[in-house]
């Protein structure tokens, strides 16, 4: 099939390349000329495992092209809307400027029978409003939310754990659902669950999933706060309750909390939308979920201060990590960088290292020191804090080796990802989040 993808940021670029990799003819469209130039040359503008290969393969095959001209969307059977929905600058609600602009720009090029598939995360009710503008063209608007995990986005696009299609009632909706089944033919052939809903439910599926995951993370971090004042070990607690099949162990990793471009802004936008609908009390708990999450960053800073004798002024601190999670160079709302900046503000001499995110971090926070080589960054440090759980830190950094590089054997495990016993045996003072 011929597809267009409007918006070639993280979501759109991955989607376009992945769709080309399973045989579709894809045109990616974005207003950012530099981004389009990079993608057209087969160069991924951000780090995502597996993307570079399918991007360059798609360009070489001729199935994948990129342009700044919306008119080139004309003739596509399905038009995916994958633009950003950032948090509004003056509030918690989602900014739909880019979604509205994408749809309005696309409308003149739609044909009878086309399918416009929204993938952006939007407040419930958005699709119904957009459908009023799309339907008069003869096209059908559907909502097809994404469930990508950064670091696994290519896999999650090509081989998702479920597909959701929110469609309007009637023949047009049924036809549109069949079109999406054809688009995702490789996943459908593997019997991937294909769930057809109304538009509102499809919109809610995405934000509800993110709200649940955020709640689970903040729940275990709330337990970590209790553990810290009682002497309990939150990691053992998580293991114990995680054996309950109704709860599960995933997303019960206590530490400095979640970040990135999705969970924080999505739970805030969900809260804002609930208020607009007169049902703010239904998700009022998400305010506390957000507060707990932000509080853990402050706790990591205080734990580091305490570990270094009550002051970090002019202390050399190595921060292991800058991206909000491993396998990514994304620094949006990164807990790692918030901690680094806070320590710098307290007078510490902060050196940040990260396998992929240094360039992005330096552009955002040039006041920090950045060193690409892990061992060089550790050399002479008075203290170390792990804030992004890259394998380079959690599995491939022997505590004995690290001890030979630093000036002071003090380590704060902001992700509870290290073997505390091993580090202590190597002579380190180890401090975990919610661990004795």
- Residue 262 annotated in active site: yes
Catalytic residue among 262, 274, 300, 420: 262
The 3-class SS string of the chain reads: CEEEEECCCHHHHHHHHHHHHCCCEEEEECCCHHHHHHHHCCCCCCCCCCHHHHHHHHHHHCCEEEECCHHHHCCCCEEEECCCCCECCCCCCECCHHHHHHHHHHHHHCCCCCEEEECCCCCCCHHHHHHHHHHHHCCEEEECCCCCCCCCHHHHHHCCCCEEEECCCCHHHHHHHHHHHHHCHHHHHCCCCEEEECHHHHHHHHHHHHHHHHHHHHHHHHHHHHHHHHCCCHHHHHHHHHCCCCCCCCCCCCCCCCCCCCHHHHHHHHHHHHHHCCCHHHHCHHHHHHHHHHHHHHHHHHHHHHHCCCCCCCCEEEEECCCCCCCCCCCCCCHHHHHHHHHHHCCCEEEEECCCCHHHHHHHCCCCEECCCHHHHHCCCCEEEECCCCHHHHCCCCHHHHHCCCCCCEEEECCCCCCHHHHHHCCCEEEECCCC
Q: Catalytic amino acids?
A: 262
């Amino acid at each position: 099939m011929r597809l267009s993808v409007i918006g070639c940021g993280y979501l759109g670029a991955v989607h376009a390349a992945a769709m080309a990799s399973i045989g579709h003819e894809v045109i990616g469209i974005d207003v950012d000329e530099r981004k389009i130039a990079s993608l057209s040359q087969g160069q991924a503008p951000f780090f995502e495992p597996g993307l570079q290969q399918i991007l360059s393969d798609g360009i070489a095959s001729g199935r994948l092209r990129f342009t700044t001209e919306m008119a080139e969307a004309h003739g596509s059977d399905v038009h995916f809307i994958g633009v950003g929905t950032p948090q509004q600058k003056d509030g918690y609600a989602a900014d739909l400027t880019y979604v509205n602009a994408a749809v309005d720009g696309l409308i003149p090029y739609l044909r009878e029978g086309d399918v416009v598939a929204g993938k952006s995360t939007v407040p419930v009710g958005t699709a119904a409003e957009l459908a009023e503008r799309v339907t008069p063209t003869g096209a059908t608007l559907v909502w097809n939310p994404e469930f990508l995990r950064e670091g696994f986005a290519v896999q999650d696009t090509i081989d998702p754990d479920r597909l959701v299609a929110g469609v309007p009632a009637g023949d047009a909706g049924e036809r549109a659902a069949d079109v999406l089944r054809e688009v995702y033919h490789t996943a459908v052939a593997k019997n991937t669950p294909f769930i057809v809903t109304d538009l509102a439910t499809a919109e809610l599926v995405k934000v509800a999933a993110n709200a649940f995951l955020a709640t689970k993370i903040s729940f275990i971090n709330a337990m970590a706060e209790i553990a810290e004042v009682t002497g309990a070990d939150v990691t053992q607690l998580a293991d114990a309750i995680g054996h309950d099949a109704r709860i599960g162990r995933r997303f019960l990793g206590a530490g400095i909390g979640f970040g990135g471009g999705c969970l924080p802004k999505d739970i805030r936008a969900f809260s804002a939308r609930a208020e607009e609908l007169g049902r703010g009390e239904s998700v009022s708990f998400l305010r506390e979920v957000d507060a707990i999450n932000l509080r853990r960053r402050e706790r990591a800073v205080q734990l580091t201060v305490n570990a270094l004798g009550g002051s970090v002024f002019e202390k050399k601190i190595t921060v292991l990590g800058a991206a909000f999670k491993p396998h990514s160079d994304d620094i949006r709302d990164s807990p790692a960088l918030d901690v680094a900046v806070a320590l710098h503000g307290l007078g510490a001499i902060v050196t940040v290292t990260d396998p992929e995110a240094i360039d992005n971090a330096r552009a955002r926070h040039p006041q920090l020191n950045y060193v690409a080589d892990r061992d060089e960054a550790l050399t002479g440090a008075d203290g170390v804090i792990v804030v992004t759980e890259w394998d380079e830190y959690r599995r491939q950094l022997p505590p004995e080796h690290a001890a030979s590089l630093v000036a002071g054997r003090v380590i704060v495990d902001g992700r509870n990802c290290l073997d505390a016993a091993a580090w202590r045996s190597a002579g380190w003072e180890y401090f975990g989040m919610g661990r004795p």
